[in-house]
Amino acid sequence: MKPIRIIGVPSDYGQGRRGVDMGPSAIRYAGLREKLRDMGLDVTDLGDVPVPTPETRHIDNEKLKYLDEVIAVCTALCERVRDVVAAGQIPLVLGGDHSVAIGSLAGVAAAGKRFGVIWFDAHGDMNTDETTPSGNIHGMPLAASLGLGHPSLTELGGPAPKVKAQHVVLVGARSVDADEARLIRQSGITVFTMAEIDRLGMGTVMEQAIRIAGDGTDGIHLSLDLDALDPMFAPGVGTPVNGGVTYREGHLAMELLADSGRLLSVDVVEVNPILDHRNQTGRMAVELVESLLGKRVM
Ligand SMILES: NC(=[NH2+])NCCC[C@H](N)C(=O)O
Ligand SMILES: [Mn+2]
Ligand SMILES: [Mn+2]
């Protein structure tokens, strides 16, 4: 396994509920670095990307809330991710809400990589400023990375698109807005909803996802929204949806991705300790990352 570089992004500017800005602390407090070091990995925590203080926050555009703040955070993250990927290391980005993925995908692209994306999420995150029901940018990062939406997001850190639809797979979807569904169909990305996971099994779904994201690319970016998991296992998220990925399915997905040897970069987002029970979701995040980076029973 390549060296791992942890980057915290304590930002909640992409969504309405405070608390997800404490996600990096919660995940670190659950023992992330120590547990990965115990596995024999080369791990360094690079600390946090600077985030403007909430006291300065303001909404200019109801369809793109906190746009300036999201751009500032994502631009800083993009530069760090770019440098880590260019050095041959794996960036492990700790959110923060899912808008931070605009910065991480821009950073992988800026390092000159042609990559695929596996987007693990209860939601599509495929809204634009024209389709959004909430104005929250955390509902837009996958669209933005594919070149759909406001130019200040699609062109952040480099030209759009950051990734091609033919190499993008959404896994775990079960809550998609009507206009967003239309955009998803038009885009040509591959979607495995919970219904498909039920029918095919997570093993088959991930085999196909890894092939789609991995074949013909330099590697795979995993964007792991903890709300992909069932709220029973990850209650500490801002937008929980019932009927999610189980504990076992989650670990199986991470193990198969580890075994593929194609992992390039990772986001772990939407952990909100204010809504959590005794950091259960932060601990779940750490466990999943362990499986993703090669932890096995024996
Ligand atoms: N990253 C997330 N948790 N996204 C939730 C998005 C919810 C909804 N589709 C919206 O656009 O507002
Ligand atoms: Mn998401
Ligand atoms: Mn989500």
Pocket mutation for ligand 1, best pick of 102, 128, 136, 272 (most atoms within 8 Å of C-beta)? 136
Nearest ligand 1 atom to alpha carbon 124: 9
Look at residue 56 in the predicted model and tell me its pLDDT.
67
Query: Alpha-carbon distance 52 to 260, whole Å?
Result: 38
Query: Alpha-carbon distance 2 to 86, whole Å?
Result: 12
Ligand 1 atom 7, closest CA = 139
Taken in order of first residue, the domains within the chain and their CATH numbers are 4-292 (3.40.800.10)
Structure-token match 């994306």, residue found: 117
Look at residue 58 in the predicted model and tell me its pLDDT.
77
98 assigned to a ligand binding site = yes
Assess contact for 95 and 267: CB atoms under 8 A: yes
Query: Alpha-carbon distance 127 to 276, whole Å?
Result: 27
Look at residue 53 in the predicted model and tell me its pLDDT.
84
Calculate how far, in angstroms, residue 35's C-alpha sits from the geometric centre of ligand 1: 31
Query: Alpha-carbon distance 162 to 259, whole Å?
Result: 25
128 Cβ below 6 A of ligand 1: no
> Which value, in Å, is the radius of gyration of the alpha carbons in the chain?
17
Look at residue 59 in the predicted model and tell me its pLDDT.
85
Which residue is catalytic, options 69, 196, 230, 270? 270
133 Cβ below 6 A of ligand 1: yes
Look at residue 55 in the predicted model and tell me its pLDDT.
66
What pTM was computed for the model?
Answer: 0.98
Which residues, other chains included, contact 186 with Cβ-Cβ below 8 Å and sequence gap of 6+? none
Task: Based on DSSP, count helices (H) and strands (E) in the chain, helices before strands.
Answer: 11, 8
Of 107, 163, 288, 252, residue with least CA distance to 280: 288
Instruction: Tell me if residue 45 falls in helix, strand or coil.
Output: strand
Q: Is the peptide bond before 161 cis (omega within 30 degrees of 0)?
A: yes
Task: State yes or no: is 150 an active-site residue.
Answer: no
ipTM over 0.90: yes
Task: State yes or no: is 121 an active-site residue.
Answer: yes
Please report which helix (H) or strand (E) contains residue 263, including its range.
strand 263-269
Query: Alpha-carbon distance 69 to 194, whole Å?
Result: 33
- Reading the chain (298 residues) residue by residue, the pLDDT tens digits are 999 999 999 999 999 778 999 999 999 999 999 999 999 999 999 999 999 887 667 788 999 999 999 999 999 999 999 999 999 999 999 999 999 999 999 999 999 999 999 999 999 999 999 999 999 999 999 999 999 999 999 999 999 999 999 999 999 999 999 999 999 999 999 999 999 999 999 999 999 999 999 999 999 999 999 999 999 999 999 999 999 999 999 999 999 999 999 999 999 999 999 999 999 999 999 999 999 999 999 8
